[in-house]
Structure 1
C-alpha cells in the first residue's frame, strides 16, 4: 500500500517536470527568402534588446498552432500557424519582441528556479504523506499528497506567469527603442483573446494558467504603447510587401492545395496570390500550371532571386534538371544563399552528366561552408564523393548528415567507416573521430537508460 502511494507521488512529480519542459523538436521549415525576411524584420528589435543580430535566429517550424517560443540559445521559433494568422508584419514583430524578452531575461535557464521551488513543495508533501500513510492514515496521506501537488503546480504556474509579464514589458521596450509601433502587439493579443472566448476560457482569473489572460495583458500594454512616440508610426511598406509574399508562399507550402486556391483564387492577380498558387499547383503535381504562375511572377520581376529559385525547384522536381540549372545559377549569383546553392547542386547531380559533378562539388562545399546545419547538402555532397570513388569522404558526409538528424547509431557507423579510409591526423579524420566520439557516448547513454 505504501509503495503504491509513493509511486503515485512520483508520477505527480514527473507530470510537473513534463509540463515545464520546452516544446519538443518539430519540423523546421528552411527557406532562403523566409530566413532573410525574418532576419531583416527582427534586426532592429534584436539590437534594441542589446544582442547581436547575427547571433540571433528567428526560424519557422511547421505547426498550425498560433504560437512562438524560445527553448535555449538565441533562437526564436515561430509556428507557421502564427504567420498564417497574422494580418501584418507589425503583429509578427510584436510576437518576436516578446520572445526576445524571454531570451534577454534568461527565462529558459531560470525555469529551473521555478521547478526547484515547486519540486521542494512536492517532495515535502511526499514525505509528509508517506509518513501519514505509514501511520495508518491513508485518507490523510492522500490529502497531503493532493494538496502538495496542487500547491507545487500553483507555485510553478505563478512563476511562469511572472516571466510572461516580464517578457511583455521587455518586448514593449524593444519596440519603442526600435521605433516600431506596438499596435500590432495589441492586435495580436486581441486575436488570442478571441481564441480564449471561443474555447470558453474563464476571463475572471488567470490562476491555473502558464500565461496571464490576454485581456489582462492588453490592459497593461495599452497603457505603455499608446503613449509611446512610435504608436502612430506606419509600417515599412517594403517590409509589409515582403511579409505578404512570405505568408502566401507559406500557406501554399503547408496548406492543402484546395484551401490555398480558395484563399488565393484565380481572380487575384497579385504577387502573393501567384506565389501561393504556384506552390499549390506544384504540390498537386500540375507543373505546367505551377510554371505559368512562376512566369507571371518573373514577368513582374525578371531577376528576383526567389522567383528564379522557385522556377528551378518546379523544373527540377518535375524531372527537368537541365532546365532548372540556369534559373538556379542566377539565383545563387544574386544571393550567394546556401539553401539555393544546395538546390543548384542537386540539379547538377540530377542531370547524371559527369561534366556537372565538379561544379556540383564546388557549389555544395561552398554552401556547407556557410551553413553546416543542412542535412540535405551533406547528402548531396556524399553523392558527389561516391560518384568519384572517394568512399571515405562519402562516409564522412553521411556521418555529418546522420549526426544532424539525431541518428547517433548511423552517425557512429558512418564515422567509423570514414576513419578506416582517411589518413590519421588530417582534418577530415579528426572530424570523423569527433563525430564517432560524440555519437558513441550518446548511444551508450541511451543503452543505459533502457
Structure 2
C-alpha cells in the first residue's frame, strides 16, 4: 500500500463524522464504534510487532481509492474504499499487518535514504552533463542528463519496492505470531491483482513501479502462509460480526443513498443492513425512515451503546435535541467514549435550556480531557464558557480549536485574548501561553517563506 507524509489534521465529531483534511480532498472519518473495533482488531498484530497497542492508532480516511499507508508516528491510515472492498476482518488484518511492517521498519524515515541516493545520481549527471555541454557536446550532455534522471528514478523505485517486500514479510510474521491466518492477506492481494488486470497493467515486470506486482507478492507470500500453523484457523465470529457492522455503517455514510439501498435492500433484515439503511435514510433527510431502522436495531439489542448513539444523532440532527439526551446519556455511561460524550454535550447545549449547561460543561470537559484533538468538542466547550460569561476560557477553547485546525493566525489571536483575562501562572494561562508561542512561531515562519 502507498505511504504518504501527512500534515496535522483538524478533528471534529459526530457518529461517523467528517473531520479535517490531512491531504487534498481527503477527510478523516471518526466514529466511536469504528475506533474501538480498529483497536481490538489490530491489538494482537501490534503486540506481535513488539509495539504498545495504546500507542498505535488506525484511522479511516474518506476516500474511495483502495489504499492504506503510514505517514510518520505509529499511525495507520485506511481509505474507506479499502474497508468497503474487504470481504472480511481477516483481509483487513492482512492490510494492517503490512502497514505495521512499514512502521517497524522505519520506512517513512528511511525513505529519505532512497531519495538521497537518487539525488546523488541526479547531481552527478548534472555535473557530467554540464561539462559535456560546455565542451561543445550539447547532444551528449543532454543524453547524460536524461540517463541520470532515469537512473535516479529507477534507484528510488527499486528502494520503494524493497520496502514493500520487506513490509509484506513482516506482516506475514505478525499474522503468524498472532495466530491469525494469512488467507485474508492473499485474498486481498488477489483483489489488487484483479484491479491491475482491469487497468491493463503489464504483468511481466514490476520495473518502473513503486510496488511489486500483486502476482509477485502472492507467489512469495503463498509459500509463507500455506505452511503456517494458523493457515486454516477460522476467523473470530464476534470480531467478524463487528466488522460487518462498521462496514455497513461506513457504506451508509459515504455512499449515495440509492447505492446503499441496492446493496442493503429492505428484504435484508440483518443488523448490518438496518445499520446501513439508517445512515442512508438519515443522510437523505428522512428522519422517520431512519428512526424506523434504528428502532429495529434497538429491538434486537436494546442497550447497545452505538445503536443508542445513532438514535441520539438522528434525533439531534432532526431538531429534537431534548429527545436525544436520554439515549446519548446511556451510551456515554456504557462506554465513556469522548466522541459520544461530545455529541451529548452538543445536544445539551442545543436545547438552549440554561439548566442543561452545567451538565454540558462537565461532559465536555471530560471529553477533551480524554481526547484533546477534537475541534468540535473545544468549540462546544467555548460556547458553554461564553454563555456563562467566562470570556477568557472561551477564548482559550477557541485557541485550542484553531490550533487543531491549523489556523495559526486565529489560534494566536485567541490565545493572546485568553491570556489577557487569565491569572498568570495558572494551568489555563500556561496553556494559552504555549499555544501563543507555537502559533506565533508558525506565523513568522510562513511570513519568511513569502
TM-score normalised over the length of structure 1: 0.94
**1:254-301 per-position Cα deviation (integer Å, ceiling 9, x unaligned):** 011111111111111110000000000000000000000000000000
> CA–CA distance in 2 between the matches of 1:33 and 1:275?
12
**1:20-72 per-position Cα deviation (integer Å, ceiling 9, x unaligned):** 99976931101000000000000000000000111100111111100100000
Could you tell me which residue of structure 1 aligns to residue 81 of structure 2?
A: 81
- Secondary structure at 1:29 match in 2: strand
Task: Measure how far apart 1:15 and its partner are.
Answer: 39
Could you tell me which runs of 5 or more consecutive residues in structure 2 were left unpaired when the two chains were aligned: none
Task: Measure how far apart 1:246 and its partner are.
Answer: 0.3
**1:382-420 per-position Cα deviation (integer Å, ceiling 9, x unaligned):** 000000011111111011001011111111111111111
Task: Measure how far apart 1:133 and its partner are.
Answer: 2.5
Q: Which has the higher contact order (CA 8 A, sep 6+)?
A: 2
- Secondary structure at 2:51 match in 1: coil
* Pair 1:68 & 2:68 matched: yes
Contact 1:368 1:377 in 2 (8 A): yes
After TM superposition, the structure 1 stretch with the greater mean CA deviation from structure 2, 331-340 or 418-427, is 418-427
- Secondary structure at 1:2 match in 2: coil
- Secondary structure at 1:26 match in 2: coil
Question: Residues 302 and 319 from structure 1, CA distance in 2 versus in 1: closer, same or farther, beyond 3 angstroms?
Answer: same
After TM superposition, the structure 1 stretch with the greater mean CA deviation from structure 2, 290-299 or 125-134, is 125-134
> CA–CA distance in 1 between the matches of 2:127 and 2:248?
56
**1:283-339 per-position Cα deviation (integer Å, ceiling 9, x unaligned):** 000000000000000000000000000000000000000000000000000000000
How does 1:34-433 map onto structure 2 within 5 Å?
Answer: 34-433=34-433
**1:224-251 per-position Cα deviation (integer Å, ceiling 9, x unaligned):** 0000000000000000000000000000
Question: Residues 5 and 428 from structure 1, CA distance in 2 versus in 1: closer, same or farther, beyond 3 angstroms?
Answer: closer
Contact 1:59 1:78 in 2 (8 A): yes
Task: Measure how far apart 1:8 and its partner are.
Answer: 32
Question: Residues 325 and 7 from structure 1, CA distance in 2 versus in 1: closer, same or farther, beyond 3 angstroms?
Answer: closer
Contact 2:206 2:212 in 1 (8 A): yes
**1:68-90 per-position Cα deviation (integer Å, ceiling 9, x unaligned):** 00000000001000000000000
Question: Residues 168 and 54 from structure 1, CA distance in 2 versus in 1: closer, same or farther, beyond 3 angstroms?
Answer: same
Question: Residues 130 and 424 from structure 1, CA distance in 2 versus in 1: closer, same or farther, beyond 3 angstroms?
Answer: same
> CA–CA distance in 1 between the matches of 2:81 and 2:127?
44
Contact 1:59 1:77 in 2 (8 A): yes
- Secondary structure at 1:210 match in 2: coil
Question: Residues 335 and 436 from structure 1, CA distance in 2 versus in 1: closer, same or farther, beyond 3 angstroms?
Answer: same
> CA–CA distance in 2 between the matches of 1:302 and 1:268?
20
After TM superposition, the structure 1 stretch with the greater mean CA deviation from structure 2, 25-34 or 66-75, is 25-34
Could you tell me which residue of structure 1 aligns to residue 442 of structure 2?
A: 442
Q: CA RMSD in A?
A: 7.1
> CA–CA distance in 1 between the matches of 2:345 and 2:9?
56
- Secondary structure at 1:76 match in 2: strand
Contact 1:9 1:145 in 2 (8 A): no
Task: Measure how far apart 1:140 and its partner are.
Answer: 1.9
Question: Residues 391 and 18 from structure 1, CA distance in 2 versus in 1: closer, same or farther, beyond 3 angstroms?
Answer: closer
- Secondary structure at 1:60 match in 2: strand
Could you tell me which runs of 5 or more consecutive residues in structure 1 were left unpaired when the two chains were aligned: none
TM-score normalised over the length of structure 2: 0.94
**1:159-186 per-position Cα deviation (integer Å, ceiling 9, x unaligned):** 0000000000000000000000000000
Contact 2:4 2:70 in 1 (8 A): no
Contact 1:2 1:134 in 2 (8 A): no
Q: Aligned residues, how many? A: 450
- Secondary structure at 1:179 match in 2: coil
**1:204-228 per-position Cα deviation (integer Å, ceiling 9, x unaligned):** 0000000000000000000000000
Task: Measure how far apart 1:4 and its partner are.
Answer: 31
Task: Measure how far apart 1:424 and its partner are.
Answer: 1.2
